[in-house]
Structure 1
Amino acid sequence: MATAHDRAVLQTIFNPTTPFGDVPGLNQVEGLQDDDSGFDAMLLEKVKGLELQGVSAAESGDLSEALECFDEAIRVLPQRPSAYNNRAQTRRLQGDTAGALDDLERTISLSEGTSRSACQALVQRGLLHRLAGRDEEARLDFEKAATLGSDFARQQAVLLNPYAALCNRMLSEVITKLRNPEALEAQSP
């Protein structure tokens, strides 16, 4: 049976962009979900139905209908973060980055940064920051989402880490030289 150290070494060999010792899934938060227990059950059921309608409308390309559904869900339960998160995605698809960022901020605030909605919002916001060239802000969002269990966010955070990039470049050069020692000899005076 492999030890934790053995798994970390194998992880580094097969996935050199991850930090040493970072075995995906090992630190993942189990059962991350939104806490809907504080909402009236009938209102919650209505809002979830509206969100499903909104997602279906967005998937079929009717972004106006999707926004109407998410807006109504927010009017019914303005303290529930999920509809803001869904509306942010729809706004982003419409090219309304500022509106999407506002909704993502609201999602993170309402969820206190600890729910599935918060994790999704942090990833979305990180992607928007990355597209805008704000890599440091993106990295911070990805790191927060990674602590909530997002493997995608963990990978993005590593890719944006300047120290990891430098180490990976140096490691690639060493491996290339080890694989091709003749090239190393040809370079010697």
Structure 2
Amino acid sequence: MGFEGHRVVITAAGRGFGRTLAIRFADLGAEVFLSARSRAAAERVRDEIRGRGHSRVHAYACDLADPASIRDFASAVAQSTDRVDLLVNNGARYLDGPDLLGASDADIVETVASGATGTLLAVKHFLPLLLESDGPDVVTLVSACAAAGHHRSDAHDAFYAAKSAQSLVECVLFAVGQPRDCFIKAFHFEQV
């Protein structure tokens, strides 16, 4: 499936999975609005995508733990487009370490705020642009870290608390490519 004419917003696209999603959507013809905590990280990915021959890619700074930063991101995107067809909530600040007592209160608050509150605020502030689309979608990517008994990484307990499932690029592309009357609640992957 191609995404020609689609306008896609991806949070936390400065590296890893978000970067991969931004590249794939651009390769499939979408106009991509990507964010990262630092503008420099977002611009590196934007430049990488432009180097692949795609000119319709935009880079923004957005700290998902900061409500003002989320509002500013949505407002800046609204100055460049009249609609968003897909919002991909990919971001959550990672916090490593096995000991709850070893993390500062600020680290815990920022980790939970970015993954939980930040996701809700991104939907809220992009909703006016999504409602202008003929077929809007919201995809929220979360990690298995929140599944009961899942402790197969070095993630901190606060990161586990901010997450609840795991997904892959092909699943996102599959889900948003389905007919409008198809509803996919979740994909679940088991580690082997």
Which structure's CA Rg is the greater one? 1
| Higher relative helix content | 1
- TM beyond 0.5: no
TM-score (norm 2): 0.30
| Higher relative strand content | 2
